[in-house]
């Protein structure tokens, strides 16, 4: 593979989706692709619009016969995004309750980051990460706002159905009912109030999901969510079915970053050249 520089590209989610389609990709990770819902006529109109945008940015060239040539480096990055060995999505709450994401695509040759703009809706920066340290640094940036929480040996378990009922009560401003349910699940009053505040405001919310595509094997998926309360940082892990209990643990900055360190170690195993 050619050596890619560190220059990035600015793309909308639609531009990313259409470029992925040009590579023949069957799956797109990291963005919401709603083009499948468009009629044939609407899809053609949208493609003409996106094609003009990409041509204006000089990311593609449209020939007289209407054939398309994509910028060589950009094409290579999109291919890697569509065929990762590992995909990591870090999502958090941004301005005006907007959820913003940073997506990492790991292949044996390179890592690529798709970083959502904090202000502009559905606009992303697509950038190659050319060193292992750069991947590590950018991943750790996602968790820079989890300092200052206290640690405690607390685990709360509840049926999935109960957790969904609690979320519904939070939406209906049912603070007292939520706190009582959390106490029944194993919290003392202080921690129940803290977890309620963390779930209700989501001011310091982070969701991390990892897909690992192993040869001759099913996709391995893991995820965890972090909710920052006034005093404690609560972590909830991925459940595979509604039959499993939802568990919350209290974590601190050190324990979370140790988990990210372990993820970085798995990433380094993938890179053929590192």
160-163 long-range contacts, CB within 8 A, separation 24+ = 160/239, 160/242, 160/243, 160/244, 160/245, 160/246, 161/242, 162/246, 163/246
The pLDDT assigned to 242 comes to 86
Q: What is the pLDDT of residue 96?
A: 62
Provide the domain limits for residue 73. Answer: 9-141
So what's the pLDDT on residue 272? 62
pTM across the whole model: 0.89
What residues contact 40, with CB distance under 8 A and at least 6 apart? none
Rounded Cα–Cα distance for residues 14 and 255 (Å):
37
Residues 22 and 103 in one domain: yes
User: What residues contact 19, with CB distance under 8 A and at least 6 apart?
Assistant: 11, 54, 59, 70, 74, 75, 78
* Helix (H) / strand (E) containing 54: helix 40-56
For the chain of 274 residues, list the mean pLDDT of each consecutive stretch of 10: 62 94 90 82 90 94 88 95 95 76 93 89 90 89 87 91 91 86 90 94 89 84 92 90 91 90 90 60
DSSP of 137-192, one letter per residue? HHHHHTTTT--S-B----EEEEEHHHHHHHHHHHHTT-HHHHHHHHHHTT--HHHH
Question: How many separate domains does the chain show?
Answer: 2
CA neighbor of 125 nearest in space, from 113, 133, 110: 113
User: Contact, 43 vs 35, CB < 8 A?
Assistant: yes
Domain boundary residue among 83, 115, 141? 141
Cα dihedral: 248, 89, 110, 80 (round 10): 140
Q: Is 261 within a domain? A: no
Beta strands 99-106 and 205-212 are unpaired
User: Within a domain: residue 149?
Assistant: no
Q: Is residue 94 part of a domain?
A: yes
Tens of pLDDT, residue by residue over 120-169, are 778 999 999 988 889 999 999 998 888 889 999 888 999 999 999 999 99
Among 240, 78, 246, residue whose Cα is nearest residue 158: 246
Q: In this predicted structure, what is the pLDDT of residue 145?
A: 80
Are 31 and 67 contained in the same domain?
yes
Q: Identify whether residues 122 and 168 lie together within a single domain.
A: no
Q: Identify the pLDDT of residue 81.
A: 95
- Is 81 a domain residue? yes
Domain check: are 137 and 160 in the same one?
Answer: no
Residues 185, 213: one domain?
Answer: yes
């Amino acid at each position: 593979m050619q050596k890619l520089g560190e220059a990035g590209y600015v793309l909308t989610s639609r531009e990313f989706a259409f470029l992925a389609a040009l590579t023949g990709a069957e799956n797109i990770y990291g963005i919401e692709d709603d083009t499948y819902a468009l009629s044939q006529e609407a899809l053609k109109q949208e493609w003409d619009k996106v094609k003009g945008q990409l041509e204006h940015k000089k990311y593609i060239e449209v020939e007289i016969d209407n054939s398309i040539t994509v910028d060589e480096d950009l094409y290579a990055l999109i291919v890697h995004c569509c065929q990762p060995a590992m995909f990591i999505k870090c999502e958090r709450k941004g301005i005006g309750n907007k959820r913003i994401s940073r997506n990492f695509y790991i292949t044996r040759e390179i890592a690529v980051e798709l970083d959502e703009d904090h202000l502009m809706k559905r606009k992303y920066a697509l950038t190659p990460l050319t060193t292992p340290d750069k991947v590590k640094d950018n991943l750790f940036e996602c968790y820079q706002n989890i300092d200052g929480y206290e640690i405690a040996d607390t685990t709360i378990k509840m049926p999935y159905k109960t957790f969904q009922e609690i979320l519904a009560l939070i939406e209906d401003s049912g603070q007292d009912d939520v706190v009582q349910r959390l106490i029944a699940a194993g919290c003392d009053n202080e921690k129940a109030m803290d977890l309620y505040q963390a779930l209700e405001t989501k001011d310091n919310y982070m969701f991390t999901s990892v897909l690992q595509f192993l040869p001759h094997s099913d996709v391995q998926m893991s995820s965890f969510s972090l909710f920052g309360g006034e005093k404690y940082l609560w972590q909830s892990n991925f459940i595979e079915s509604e039959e499993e209990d939802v568990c919350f643990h209290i974590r601190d900055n050190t324990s979370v970053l140790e988990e990210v360190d372990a993820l970085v170690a798995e990433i380094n195993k993938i890179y053929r050249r590192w």
